[in-house]
């Protein structure tokens, strides 16, 4: 794809160059180099744009000197100046456009990061509990290891078992911290191959405590074939955590028939797309509607920023997918995530 | 890990849904000579008959979708009188108060020091033993008491209220000598060495009648 467009740009430049070499009345064609700059600016970095602009100006001047080599003094310099002016202007605009696009992308990243930090803040009690478990086991094993060794007849097998378990539990703590670090990092990373089942499972694991506190039964049976797709892992995880957390917070009571149902399937009506349904039987959309729920700074939570779902929708749309909210038929809310398996 | 139900005394029941915490507790308790009986869920605990040697229970507050404190209340309703030590990762005062009110003997927060845990277990064991002893004494006293005749029961009620023989005779409308005979029978049937013994036994039987008094009411 990339090579094709590169080839197209080179061919375009060459044909413009050839046009400008035609008899003198055609030398205003060098204005057409702006198309080349416009096309290049879609994908290239700022340095490349500048370089291409210089090349275009160079080519115009070169073709001008070739065409008007007999009468270099009385040549139509105004036309040349106009072409060069146009090329410079478009370059400037392209550069400015790119700067603004970059700034916008950076703002989006910062916002997404802020949202992840908010999530982490919300989860801090659970994270502390999660790390406390292996820590408790490590401490208990350490005490018990010492006791096995201090016996009148030291039991080495038991003591070795204790040390092995200490190692295992410190790894467990490490992996919990690793997961949090991933969520807390500023960079969003590069797209990679992701298993849908795995990422849903991981998101549920992160929210394990919240789920059990509200006595929610999460029904997610990863039967059938797993779907692999290409996306930025942390962004996809952020979407799931956000949507699941919304569902969890929508449950006001801790009662045993609370449930969240997650379903993953290939879309039949859109080729190369898959969908994930997240359905709950909580209170549904009160005050909010499925339409305005994605509006920025709209929140029904007491200390919500009102950006979680806006960011999710943004991420999904950047991946070429869709995020839809609906009323669930009986009770509660339903979120549908549609994503392509390959992101261009 | 499967544990055979041990024959000896001092069996500690562990109810925690985290495998690593379970096994670390198991290792620590075995290193000091206890035997353990591990459960991962309340359902598993309720469906398994508990051996009589079980003398203490370590209960985690977080058991999947079940709250340990709720379960403690359920245990009381089901008449399970095992001393319970509550262990929690994130305890606060309301939780501790609720735990103790529901009958827990101790409340520890994770991670705990081994000595703290073992002391708590020792206290629970003490409590369990006392409980066990008083249960036995109560059973014995009830058995002995059942052998008394109706009249002897009436006489005993008067004796433990501190009435003199004369007063008993007067109250029940019988002769002094009959009271003395009843009294001798009661001491024999209740296996009491002294009046003090008899009074202690009556405590288990909850016999004390406040209306009977040695002195006339004002």
**Most confident segment among A41-50, B1-10, B109-118:** B109-118
Question: Which residues, in sequence order, are CB contacts of A162 under 8 Å at separation 6+?
Answer: A141, A142, A144, A145, A148, B27
SS3 label, residue A256: coil
For the sheet containing A217-219, what is the strand order? A217-219, A259-266, A273-280, A333-340, A322-327
The answer as to whether B216 is a domain residue is: no
Tell me: do B40 and B79 sit in the same domain: yes
Measured between alpha carbons, how far is B48 from B2 in angstroms, rounded to an integer? 13
CATH number at residue B178: 1.10.10.10
* Residue spans of beta strands (DSSP E) within B40-161: 54-60, 62-63, 66-67, 84-88, 106-109
B201: nearest Cα among B151, B168, B150, B157: B157
SS3 label, residue B50: coil
Instruction: Write down how long chain A is.
Output: 344
Tell me: do B19 and B121 sit in the same domain: yes
The answer as to whether B158 is a domain residue is: yes
Tell me: do B177 and B109 sit in the same domain: no
Q: What angle (nearest 5°) sits at the alpha carbon of residue A244, between those of residues A260 and A320?
A: 115
In this structure, are strands B54-60 and A259-266 parallel, antiparallel, or unpaired? unpaired
Tell me: do B21 and B127 sit in the same domain: yes
Chain B residue numbers with beta carbons less than 8 Å from the beta carbon of A140 are 21, 24-25, 27-28, 111-112, 114
Chain B residue numbers with beta carbons less than 8 Å from the beta carbon of A172 are 20
The answer as to whether B215 is a domain residue is: no
Task: Decide if A148 touches B, using CB distance below 8 A.
Answer: yes
pLDDT value, residue A1: 58
Q: What angle (nearest 5°) sits at the alpha carbon of residue A307, between those of residues A306 and A310?
A: 120
Tell me the shortest Cα–Cα distance from A304 to chain B, in angstroms: 25
Q: ipTM > 0.95?
A: no
Tell me: do B113 and B151 sit in the same domain: no
Tell me: do B130 and B154 sit in the same domain: no
Hey, how many other C-beta atoms are within 10 angstroms of the C-beta on A108? 15
Among A208-217, A238-247, B59-68, B202-211, the minimum mean pLDDT is found in: B202-211
Q: What is the pLDDT of residues A168-193, one digit of tens each?
A: 999 999 988 988 888 888 776 788 88
Q: Are B28 and A215 inside 8 Å of each other by CB?
A: no
Domain hosting B92: range is 11-135
Tell me: do B173 and B67 sit in the same domain: no
Which residue in chain B has the smallest CA separation from A141? B24
Measured between alpha carbons, how far is A241 from A217 in angstroms, rounded to an integer? 16
Q: Are A204 and A164 in contact (CB under 8 A)?
A: no
The answer as to whether B187 is a domain residue is: yes
pLDDT value, residue B1: 32
Instruction: Look up tokens 């400015």; give the residue.
Output: A96
Which secondary structure element, helix H or strand E, spans residue A331, and what is its range? Answer: none
Chain B stretch 132-171, residues whose beta carbon is closer than 8 A to a beta carbon of chain A: none
Q: Are A307 and A242 in contact (CB under 8 A)?
A: no
More confident residue, A227 or A71: A227
Q: Are A132 and B110 inside 8 Å of each other by CB?
A: yes
Q: Are A136 and B65 inside 8 Å of each other by CB?
A: no
Instruction: Look up tokens 């845990």; give the residue.
Output: B117
Reading phi first (left if > 0) and then psi (alpha if -120 to 50, else beta), residue A234 is in: alpha
B27: nearest Cα among A195, A104, A161, A130: A161
Q: Tell me the average pLDDT of chain B.
A: 86
The answer as to whether B141 is a domain residue is: no
The answer as to whether B48 is a domain residue is: yes
**Axis-axis angle for helices A308-318, A233-250 (nearest 10):** 140
Which residue in chain B has the smallest CA separation from A257? B65
Task: Decide if A126 touches B, using CB distance below 8 A.
Answer: no
Q: Are B110 and A135 inside 8 Å of each other by CB?
A: yes
The answer as to whether B214 is a domain residue is: no
Can you spell out the DSSP letters for B182-201?
HHHHHHHHTT-SSHHHHHHH
pLDDT value, residue A147: 93
Q: Are B31 and A144 inside 8 Å of each other by CB?
A: yes
Measured between alpha carbons, how far is B128 from B9 in angstroms, rounded to an integer? 12
Domain boundary among B106, B135, B164: B135
Question: Which residues, in sequence order, are CB contacts of A22 under 8 Å at separation 6+?
Answer: A29
The answer as to whether B110 is a domain residue is: yes
Q: Are B1 and B38 in contact (CB under 8 A)?
A: yes
Tell me: do B106 and B45 sit in the same domain: yes
Among residues of chain B, what percentage have pLDDT more than 90? 27
- Reading the block at residue B150, the tokens are 């109706």
pLDDT value, residue A91: 92
Question: What ranges in B32-113 are assigned the alpha helix state H?
Answer: 42-47, 68-77, 93-101
Does residue A25 surpass a pLDDT of 50? yes
Indicate the number of domains in chain B: 2
Task: Decide if A171 touches B, using CB distance below 8 A.
Answer: no
Hey, how many other C-beta atoms are within 10 angstroms of the C-beta on A191? 16
For B24, which of A140, A212, A215 is closest by C-beta distance?
A140
Domain boundary among B135, B157, B183: B135
Tell me: do B88 and B55 sit in the same domain: yes
Tell me: do B119 and B160 sit in the same domain: no
Instruction: Write down how long chain B is.
Output: 218
**Most confident segment among A139-153, B88-102, B203-217:** A139-153
Task: Decide if A170 touches B, using CB distance below 8 A.
Answer: no
Q: Are B21 and A128 inside 8 Å of each other by CB?
A: no
For B21, which of A136, A147, A161 is closest by C-beta distance?
A136
Tell me: do B153 and B112 sit in the same domain: no
Chain A residue numbers with beta carbons less than 8 Å from the beta carbon of B65 are 212, 215-217, 256
Does residue B19 surpass a pLDDT of 50? yes
Domain boundary among B77, B102, B135: B135
Tell me: do B61 and B163 sit in the same domain: no
Task: Decide if B92 touches A, using CB distance below 8 A.
Answer: no
CATH number at residue B29: 3.40.50.2300
B7 pLDDT tier (thresholds 50, 70, 90): very low
Q: Are B20 and A215 inside 8 Å of each other by CB?
A: no
Chain A residue numbers with beta carbons less than 8 Å from the beta carbon of B89 are 128-129, 132-133, 136
Measured between alpha carbons, how far is A199 from A241 in angstroms, rounded to an integer? 10
């Amino acid at each position: 794809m990339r090579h094709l467009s590169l080839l197209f740009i080179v061919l375009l430049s060459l044909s413009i160059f050839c046009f400008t070499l035609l008899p003198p009345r055609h030398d205003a064609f060098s204005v057409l180099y702006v198309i080349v700059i416009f096309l290049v600016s879609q994908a290239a970095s700022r340095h490349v744009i500048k370089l291409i602009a210089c090349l275009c100006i160079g080519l115009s001047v070169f073709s001008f000197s070739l065409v008007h080599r007999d009468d270099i003094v009385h040549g139509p310099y105004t036309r040349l100046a106009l072409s060069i002016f146009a090329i410079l202007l478009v370059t400037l605009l392209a550069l400015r456009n790119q700067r603004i696009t970059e700034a916008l992308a950076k703002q989006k990243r910062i916002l997404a990061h802020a949202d992840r930090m908010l999530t982490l803040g919300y989860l801090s009690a659970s994270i502390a509990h999660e790390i406390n478990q292996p820590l408790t086991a490590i401490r208990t094993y350490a005490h018990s290891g010492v006791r096995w060794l201090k016996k009148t007849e030291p039991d080495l097998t038991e003591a070795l078992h204790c040390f092995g378990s200490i190692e295992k539990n410190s790894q467990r703590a490490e992996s919990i911290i690793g997961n949090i670090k991933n969520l807390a990092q500023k960079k969003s990373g590069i797209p990679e191959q992701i298993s849908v089942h795995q990422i849903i499972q991981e998101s549920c694991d992160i929210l394990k405590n919240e789920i059990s506190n509200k006595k929610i039964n999460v029904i997610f049976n990863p039967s059938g074939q797993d779907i692999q797709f290409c996306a930025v892992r942390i962004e996809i995880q952020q979407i799931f955590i956000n949507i699941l957390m919304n569902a969890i917070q929508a449950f006001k009571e801790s009662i045993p028939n609370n449930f969240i149902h997650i379903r993953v399937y290939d879309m039949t009506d859109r080729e190369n797309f898959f969908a994930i349904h997240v359905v709950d039987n909580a209170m549904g959309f009160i005050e909010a509607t499925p339409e305005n729920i994605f509006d920025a700074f709209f929140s029904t939570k007491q200390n919500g920023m009102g950006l979680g779902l806006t960011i999710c929708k943004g991420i999904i749309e950047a991946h070429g997918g869709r995020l839809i909210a609906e009323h669930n038929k009986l009770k509660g809310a339903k979120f549908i995530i549609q994503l392509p398996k390959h992101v261009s | 890990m499967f544990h055979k139900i041990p024959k000896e005394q001092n069996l500690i029941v562990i109810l925690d849904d985290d495998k690593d915490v379970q096994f670390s507790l198991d290792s620590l308790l075995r290193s000091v000579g206890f035997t353990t009986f591990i459960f991962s869920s309340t359902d598993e605990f309720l469906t398994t008959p508990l051996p009589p040697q079980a003398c203490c229970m370590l209960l985690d507050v977080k058991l999947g979708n079940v709250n340990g404190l709720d379960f403690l209340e359920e245990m009381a309703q089901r008449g399970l009188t095992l001393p319970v030590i509550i262990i929690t990762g994130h305890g606060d005062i309301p939780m501790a108060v609720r735990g103790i009110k529901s009958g827990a003997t101790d409340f520890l927060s994770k991670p705990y020091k081994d000595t703290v845990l073992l002391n708590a277990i020792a206290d629970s064991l003490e409590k369990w033993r006392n409980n066990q002893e008083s249960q036995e004494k109560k059973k014995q006293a009830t058995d002995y008491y059942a052998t008394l005749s109706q009249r002897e029961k009436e006489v005993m009620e008067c004796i433990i209220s501190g009435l003199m023989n004369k007063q008993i005779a007067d109250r029940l409308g019988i002769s002094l000598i009959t009271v003395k005979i009843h009294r001798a029978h009661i001491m024999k049937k209740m296996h009491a060495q002294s009046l003090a013994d008899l009074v202690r036994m009556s405590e288990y039987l909850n016999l004390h009648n406040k209306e009977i008094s040695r002195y006339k009411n004002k």
